[in-house]
Structure formats: C-alpha cells, structure tokens
Amino acid sequence: MSENYAFTPPATVSVPVVGSLERFPVHRIYCVGRNYEEHAKEMGFTGREPPFFFLKPADAIVVAEPGQTASTPYPTLTSNLHHEIELVVAIGTGGKNIKAADAAKHIHGYAVGLDMTRRDLQGEMKKLGRPWCIGKAYDHSAPIGPITLAANAGDVNNAPIWLQVNGADRQRSNVNKLIWNVAETIEHLSAAWELQPGDLIYTGTPEGVNAVVRGDTMVGAVDGLTPISVQVV
C-alpha cells in the first residue's frame, strides 16, 4: 500500500557504480573546505586549520554517466562560476565517532566530482560572515562521475588529480597533498554528524580554481577512477 503523500515524492538521487548494475543512492553531500595547502593560499589563507565542512543538497548532483559528457546549466546570479576538481568518497557503512584507523571499513567507493562554486556570491557571504549556501549549494552544483568500488580503486590516497578546461590544464596535484586525508576527514566529520550509507564527501580541491563560462567543457580525473566530463551550458 502506498503512503498518502501530499504530492509525489522526488525520486532518489543515485550515482552509477562501475562494473555493477547497482546504483549508489545519495543521502547527503558533505564538502571539506580549504583542504590543500596551495589552494588555501590562493584563497588567502595559510597553515593547517582544523577541517571545516559545508553541505550541498543531494539533488544538486549532476551525474556524468560513463563515457558521456554531462551538461550543467550556468547558474543564475553569478558572473564568476568556478570549477573545483575533487576526490569524492562514497560512504557505504554509517557510523559516528569513527577513528581514522577504522575509516576504510566505512568506504563503499570513490568518484571524481566537481564542487562548482558561485565564487562571487561565496566571497560576499564570507565578507558579511553569512552562510555560504548561495555560493556552494545551488542547483546542479555537484557534478559527479561513476563510483569505483574501494577494492578496485587502487591507491587513491596517492593519486594524481587534475582538471582541464577545453583541453588546457587548470588544476594538477596529487591526493597525497590533502591537508586532512580521507581517513582523518571521516574521523572529524563523523564526530560532528552520524554518517549514513549514501553520504558523499567531496574532500577538497587543489590549487588552480578558476572561472568557466557557457560552452566550456571540463574534463577531470583522479588516477584509478573514471574521469568526469561536464559541459557548462
């Protein structure tokens, strides 16, 4: 028997899993701010600070299906839309107060994602001491590629990460330069929220963030994972 909802509930947001017919249903999207030193510097900050987090709504996901170029609309209210290429961790087993040493057990897999940012709006909110939501958590702000199961992902903690726009290098680094690595991030995050199966963690972006405009195609990768291709339309 179906529930008596006031209207049809939205469909579950899901991400394909490489080599599987199963899709990964998305619960929440957590993001880590300023988690590569050179990116922290380009944003005007230095040194290691405790990790901090923000969220995007699950329905901000834009799935780049394998072998296809996804489209993401140029958002309203901005004239400075930035790309941020990121390693995304997909949580398969939830928990709270997870220790870094136990974090691997909770990871279902990994994907390549883009933390798209209305940088001008984020900057205004920073200046005013207001929440970043309008800059970070807008519609279609979270493109993601297929999830590779952890067992098949290789050494993602020590993998090149890069982004090209229209074939030209924009961002190039290595996941081993994360200030707070994946396991430490899970420890900090799960102390603040109880992680649930279906949670995604965008782990932060390296230096080289910059603007894209309509028509630009972003291709990004983390070695060992399926690359992502997204066009701004």
Closest residue (Cβ) to Mn ion?
115
- Contact between 205 and Mn ion by CB under 5 A: the answer reads yes
Q: What is the DSSP letter of 11?
A: P
Kindly identify the residues of this chain, within the stretch 96-115, that bind Mn ion according to CB under 5 A.
115
Q: Which is nearer to Mn ion, 53 or 193 (CB)?
A: 53
Give min distance, CB of 39 to Mn ion, in A: 8
Give min distance, CB of 42 to Mn ion, in A: 12
Q: Which is nearer to Mn ion, 24 or 202 (CB)?
A: 202
Q: Is the separation of the CB atoms in 179 and 37 below 8 Å?
A: yes
Q: What tokens were used for 166?
A: 């229209």
Give min distance, CB of 49 to Mn ion, in A: 15
Q: Is the separation of the CB atoms in 77 and 119 below 8 Å?
A: no
Q: What tokens were used for 209?
A: 């963030």
Q: How far apart are CA 215 and CA 210, in angstroms?
A: 15
- Contact between 37 and Mn ion by CB under 5 A: the answer reads no
Q: Which is nearer to Mn ion, 141 or 205 (CB)?
A: 205
Kindly identify the residues of this chain, within the stretch 76-95, that bind Mn ion according to CB under 5 A.
84
Give min distance, CB of 7 to Mn ion, in A: 33
Give min distance, CB of 27 to Mn ion, in A: 19
Q: How far apart are CA 53 and CA 38, in angstroms?
A: 18
The one segment of 146-154, 162-170, 202-210, 225-233 that binds Mn ion by CB under 5 A: 202-210
Helix (H, G, I), strand (E, B) or coil at 224: coil
Tell me which H or E stretch contains 73: none
Q: What tokens were used for 157?
A: 């903690």
Which among 27, 185, 191, 212 is positioned nearest to 119, based on CA atoms?
212
The one segment of 17-25, 198-206, 215-223, 224-232 that binds Mn ion by CB under 5 A: 198-206
Which among 124, 146, 121 is positioned nearest to 135, based on CA atoms?
121
Give min distance, CB of 117 to Mn ion, in A: 7
Which residues are near Mn ion by CB under 5 A?
Answer: 84, 115, 205
